Structure 1
Amino acid sequence: MQRNAVRWGLLALFADGPKYGYQLRTEFDVRTGGTWALNVGQVYTTLDRLARDGYVAPVGSNDGGREVYAITSQGREALAGWFATPVTDADRPRSELAIKLAMAAADPEVDVATVVQAQRTESMRQLRDYTRLRRRADPDGDVGWLLLLDHLIFGLEGEMRWLDHVEATVLRRRTRQTGGSRSASAGLDSEPAGTVSQ
C-alpha cells in the first residue's frame, strides 16, 4: 500500500477521537479487514510525521503510559481536503504486475503465456478468497469493510480480463513476427484460461 494512503488512512482514524499508536494499527487492520497489513514501526513513523506537520498533537497518556494523540484543526482541514480531492494516476502505486508483463512482452526469450498463467492462477485464488469473505460478510455490518471487499473483487476481475488481453495481444504479435509458426499460433486457437465463453 502506498505510503501517502497510509498517512491519510491513519489520520482519518482520529476523526472519532484521540488514539495511541498501537490502537491506530489495530483499528486500521479492522477497517481494512487485514488486507493491508501495517507494522507497528510504520504506524509510529507515520504518527511522528503527522505530529511534525501539525495534523495531530499529543494530549496526554493513557493508563498504560502510552502517549495519546488527537487530530488538530489543521489536521481536520487537511483530511477534508483529502476526501474532496480525486486520486490521480500520479498518486497510484506503480504496478509490479504491469511492469513485469511489459518487460516480458518485450523479451522474445520469455514465455509470456506461462507468466500470465502463473499470475492468473494467483489472481483467481485471491478472487475466490475475497468473494468468500464478501459472501460471509454481514450486509448490515461495517459499510467501509464491504466497500473495500467490493473494490478488491472488482479490481481482480479487471485484472483477469487484462491478463487475457495481454496473453492474446502478445501471442498475436509473436505469431506475426515469426510468420505464423505452429507453436506460436497454437495458443491463439484456444481461449485463454479464465475466459468465459458466450
Structure 2
Amino acid sequence: MSIRYGLLALLDHGPRYGSQLRTEFEARTGATWPLNIGQVYTTLSRLERDGLIVPAEGGDAKQQLYSITDAGRRELAEWYTRPVDRTQPARDELSIKLAMAVGTPGVDIRAVIQNQRRHSLAALQDYTRLKSRALAAGPDNSDDIAWLLVLEQLIFAAEAETRWLDHCESRLVRLAAALGDRPKPPPPPAPSAEPATHPAPRQEIS
C-alpha cells in the first residue's frame, strides 16, 4: 500500500512518467526500498483502474504520462491524516525465527541471537555513517530531508532490534537458570514383581 500512496503523492506535484516516478521515489527514500519498473507500472495500472489517476496529454511515443485525479487527491489527503494501522503488524522474519528456534533440538538459539546482533550492529553503524555524511553535506532540498527522515527511522529500528535481542538473551539465561534450580522429579518406581501363584493342592476324595 505504501507504494500506491507514494506514487500518488509524487503525482500530486504534477504529471509524471513511470520512469520518473521510480527515480523520484528512490530519491526520496535513498533507495532503501528500490522499485523495479514493472512494479511501478503494475501499481499505476491499478491506480488508473480505481479512477485515482488518468493518462495525461503531452507524453512522448515511448512513455505514457500520468496525472492524478480529484478522487486521487481526496484519497491521498485521507492517507496523510489516517494513522498507520499497528493492530495487525506485518510478519517479522526475525521474530518468527526465534519463536521457532525455542525448544528446537539441535538449534543453539543464543548463537542465532548473537549472529543477528552482529548483523544489526553493523547495519546500525552503516546507517549512522550515512547520516553523518548527509548532515555534513547539508540538506539542500526536500529529497535530502526525506532521506534523512528515512535514515533516522532505520537507525531507531536497528537500535530497538539490538535492545530486543539483548532482552531475549537475558530472558533465556534467566529461564535456563530457573529450570536448572528446580528439583528433579524422582524417578518412577520400578514395577513390582507379581507374586508367584501356585495351584491349590488337590484333595483326595475317599
Distance 2:38 2:103 in 1: 39
Q: Would the aligned equivalents of 1:105 and 1:170 in 2 still touch at CA under 8 Å?
A: no
Amino acid at match of 1:165: H
Instruction: Specify which structure has the bigger relative contact order, considering alpha-carbon pairs within 8 angstroms and separated by 6 or more residues.
Output: 2
1:86 equivalent to 2:83? Answer: yes
TM-superposition CA deviations, 1:165-189 (whole Å, max 9, x none): 1111122213322448xxxxxxxxx
By how many angstroms is 1:106 displaced?
4.2
Q: Which has the larger radius of gyration?
A: 2
More displaced stretch, 116-125 vs 97-106: 97-106
Give the letter for the 2:35 counterpart: L
Match runs of 1:29-48 below 5 Å: 29-48=26-45
Aligned-partner SS, 2:107: coil
1:150 alignment partner AA: E
Query: CA deviation digits over 1:74-108, x for unaligned, max 9?
Result: 00000011110111224642211111112212435
Q: Which runs of 5+ in 1 are unaligned?
A: 181-198
The aligned residue for residue 124 of structure 1 is 121
Q: Which residue of 2 aligns with 1:188?
A: none
CA distance in 2, matches of 1:115, 1:153: 22
- Which of residues 176, 179, 186 in structure 1 aligns to 2:178? 176
Whole-angstrom distance in 1 between the partners of 2:159 and 2:96: 19
Which residue of 2 is the match for residue 156 of structure 1? Answer: 158
Gaps of 5+ in 2: 183-206
Quick check: 1:147 aligned with 2:149?
yes
Contact 1:21 1:43 in 2 (8 A): yes
Deviations 1:117-142 (A, max 9, x none): 11111111111111111000034332
* Structure 1, 22-31 or 102-111: larger mean CA deviation: 102-111
> Deviation digits for residues 41-96 of structure 1, max 9, x if unmatched?
11111111111111111013523530010011100000011110111224642211
Distance in 1, matches of 2:51 and 2:171, equals 50
Distance 1:91 1:148, change over 3 A: farther
Correspondence for 2:112: 115
What amino acid maps onto 1:68 in structure 2? L
Does 2:53 correspond to 1:51? no
SS at match of 2:102: helix
Residue-pair matches, total: 177
Partner SS, residue 57 of structure 1: strand
TM-score after normalising by structure 1: 0.83
SS in 1 for 2:4: helix
The residue number in structure 2 matching 1:186 is none
Give the letter for the 1:86 counterpart.
P
What SS does structure 1 have at the residue aligned with 2:55?
Answer: strand
